[in-house]
Amino acid sequence: MRVRPTSDRLRETLFNVVAPRIAGARFLDLCAGTGAIGIEALSRGAAHTIFVDRSRKSCALIEANVALCRIADEQAEIYNTEAADFLRQAVSWKMTTWDIIFYDPPYKDDPIPLLELIAVQQGQLLSEEGIVIVEHHHKLELPEVIGKLEKTRVLKQGDSSLSFFT
């Protein structure tokens, strides 16, 4: 498997930033890989996490990790699909909005089309006070504004960056 897990240090930085938002949050982990970010969100008080990954192997790994961490079934859902397809279905199914959307695509993938999709459907995907966080290669500069999403912060660590959009 070609999974690039978020480093422990970057994950700690991420959760230090979102700490005030995490309690009771609805968390969406796109391109979830091992599920470490979504599981960490649950361990820090998120109410519910949806994990999305296109790889069946990753979804099986997430399922095993969720079970290993003894996370209740009602706290976690796992979807084996493309991130964009999941978001389109979420709008048509009138799923809940999320308080925190974490998106960690493979570095070779352009994250902007998915951010544009979130921006267009913002009120149907992202809660009013919600935040979108994108993990990407540090050399990739994301635009300051994408639709209604505005970049509020960038944190760089090693080869990775986290861009925060509200």
Q: Kindly state the percentage of the chain with pLDDT values over 90.
A: 84
CA distance 73 to 150: 34
Mean pLDDT of 96-120: 94
Structure confidence by residue, pLDDT tens digits, 54-74: 999 999 999 999 999 999 999
Asked whether residue 154 is domain-assigned, the answer is: yes
Check whether 161 has a pLDDT greater than 50: yes
Q: Which tokens belong to 10? A: 């970057």
Mean pLDDT of 111-115: 96
Mean pLDDT of 99-128: 93
Question: Confidence class of residue 123 from pLDDT cuts 50, 70 and 90?
Answer: confident
Asked whether residue 3 is domain-assigned, the answer is: no
pLDDT of residue 22: 97
Mean pLDDT of 5-9: 79
Asked whether residue 140 is domain-assigned, the answer is: yes
Cα separations (Å) of 38 from 21, 50, 52, 115, 134? Answer: 14, 8, 10, 19, 14
User: To the nearest whole number, what is the mean pLDDT of the chain?
Assistant: 93
Structure confidence by residue, pLDDT tens digits, 71-84: 999 999 999 999 99
pLDDT of residue 2: 54
Asked whether residue 63 is domain-assigned, the answer is: yes
Domain coverage including residue 73 = 9-84+98-165
Check whether 3 has a pLDDT greater than 70: no
- Assign residue 104 the CATH number of its domain: 3.40.50.150
Asked whether residue 44 is domain-assigned, the answer is: yes
Asked whether residue 91 is domain-assigned, the answer is: no
Question: Confidence class of residue 1 from pLDDT cuts 50, 70 and 90?
Answer: very low
Structure confidence by residue, pLDDT tens digits, 23-32: 999 999 999 9
Asked whether residue 142 is domain-assigned, the answer is: yes
Domains held by the chain: number: 1
pLDDT of residue 160: 93
